[in-house]
Structure 1
């Protein structure tokens, strides 16, 4: 391939997670020429099993993607490209995408961002070693497997009460670790009423064996034993390109999300967003659903344009 080669598509989908994959399926069935560009580093790459998706409960993320791609590739109008989009120029009807380390420029009529979020883990020694095996961020995804176990909840002051209340739906054997953030008198009393142990000392490290936490050590020399951890992470957008292109952004709690209408359209004509990046509930099935919705909007918008071109 030469540096002047251009590939032309109806829709370029940036991101190959559940939102991007479901969008690709709907658009393939709509007889659209689609390119899915994916860096293949999903947020859930450390997760052993995915849950809450009807007919796919307990599937591994890698198997979910493999099966999805196999089904999508039954349609001849979809192609997958591994890579990272570094820039987008152009406007509705004629977007030009440049891929990192690629000699091909992609041209598309419509553009869907389904890039999701990334977890920025708290700076705690040993957390990365247990993340995805015995330390998690989402009780709806992993709470069932850790029901009635001894769980430590690591949460900063501004989210600790909400988060520990969520985890209490799966186990009552809870210890809240605020990592040096101090709670109010009222918050302490509330935890005491519900039988939740509070530790406010600074965490020194998490000790584990083969990914399974054994105990948590504190800077004052104290330690506690636990079987699992749920913690609050900082979520960040996987790409800044929608914002650079002028897409409106807003706060979804502590997270910046891409603003869309109910169908996934952004304020930039021809640009759509689906999945976690646009603030849908951070669940596999929710992301897939928003991808299907955005794909339907794209198809309807393309049909309107094509219909009007004849008149």
Structure 2
């Protein structure tokens, strides 16, 4: 007989894994579907997660899976979910490899992907000396000469934030800066150089940046970069399911337990927040796991009551 899982979790990052842990401990039958290509695979270390600061991303996942396997009701599928049909109580998740998994509830923990600016040399330094999150990697670049690649409001926010780790920063907007006159003045007063010329290339050796060359001929010397990528959903499934999305492409949750606008569908992790932190994603996964379990228990309670009355 085909298994009807209590929950199907799509995505095996910290959000999906923590939800699987909570649901496994709650004795729920779970299938976790993940291709094994996390967003943070380019980074050497993960930070900000208590007891795991500095851990390698693949080691974090290895430990998590090892601990979850202690709960036999959780299964793993190294695959990609490509389609979802059905509705609350009986979803059908089709995987790229041909398997179909039925589940009463869904958790979308598909994360987001970084779409890098099209700048020559950026991929060579990404994850080595160029990063997107100062809370994750600012400590390692503290007091260095840094180039900040961003424009508009994100550039202004970046500049204000990164000053907490280094006062030697230069803002490169790779074209029109999209700043207001007031913001430009604030940067000038604080001695933060601003270049709005297009970037020709990033010069590096073995992934370590040495300068950002501009098309006008100038070069910004630096030993580290922070840049603002474009974030896109890690999967088209939320949109296909009809989940309500925010203007930034995140799935809108209706409560702290991760319920989406679609009955039976829960969300957790980067796909449901702009606060892209490892520990934040894990916490959201734990809450979503509890939310799914609570919904399943309530439905079982009602079913038991009807059976006893009949």
The normalised TM-score by structure 2 is 0.95
Deviation at 1:7?
A: 4.0
Q: Distance in 1 between matches of 2:274 and 2:33?
A: 21
Alignment of 1:149 with 2:151, yes or no, is: no
1:299 to 289, 293, 299: 293
Deviation at 1:280?
A: 5.4
Which runs of structure 2 are paired with 1:198-237 in the superposition (5 Å)?
Answer: 198-237=194-233
Alignment of 1:107 with 2:102, yes or no, is: yes
- Larger deviation, residues 185-194 vs 289-298: 185-194
RMSD: 1.2
Q: Which residue is equivalent to 1:286?
A: 280
Q: Residue 7 of structure 2 aligns to a residue in which SS?
A: strand
2:127 to 110, 114, 132: 132
- Larger deviation, residues 236-245 vs 12-21: 236-245
Q: Residue 302 of structure 2 aligns to a residue in which SS?
A: helix
Deviation at 1:224?
A: 2.0
Q: Distance in 2 between matches of 1:157 and 1:105?
A: 45
Deviation at 1:157?
A: 2.4
Aligned residues: 303
2:63 to 64, 67, 80: 67
Deviation at 1:159?
A: 1.9
Alignment of 1:271 with 2:296, yes or no, is: no
Q: Which has the larger strand fraction?
A: 1
Q: Residue 90 of structure 1 aligns to a residue in which SS?
A: strand
- Larger deviation, residues 193-202 vs 226-235: 193-202
Q: Which residue is equivalent to 1:259?
A: 252
| Deviations 1:172-213, CA, capped at 9 Å, x for gaps | 001000112134443222112112111111100001101110
Deviation at 1:40?
A: 1.1
Show structure 1 runs of 5+ residues with no match.
none
Distance change (3 Å), C-alpha of 1:288 and 1:228: same
Q: Distance in 2 between matches of 1:207 and 1:288?
A: 36
- Larger deviation, residues 277-286 vs 224-233: 277-286
Which runs of structure 2 are paired with 1:144-183 in the superposition (5 Å)?
Answer: 144-182=139-177, 183=179
8 Å CA contact 1:18–1:291 kept in 2: the answer is yes
Q: Distance in 2 between matches of 1:270 and 1:262?
A: 15
Q: Which residue is equivalent to 2:236?
A: 240
The normalised TM-score by structure 1 is 0.95
8 Å CA contact 1:155–1:179 kept in 2: the answer is yes
Deviation at 1:6?
A: 4.2
8 Å CA contact 1:6–1:105 kept in 2: the answer is no
| Deviations 1:113-155, CA, capped at 9 Å, x for gaps | 0010000000100001100000000000000111100000001
Q: Distance in 1 between matches of 2:224 and 2:34?
A: 32
Show structure 2 runs of 5+ residues with no match.
306-310
Deviation at 1:225?
A: 1.2
Q: Distance in 1 between matches of 2:123 and 2:169?
A: 21
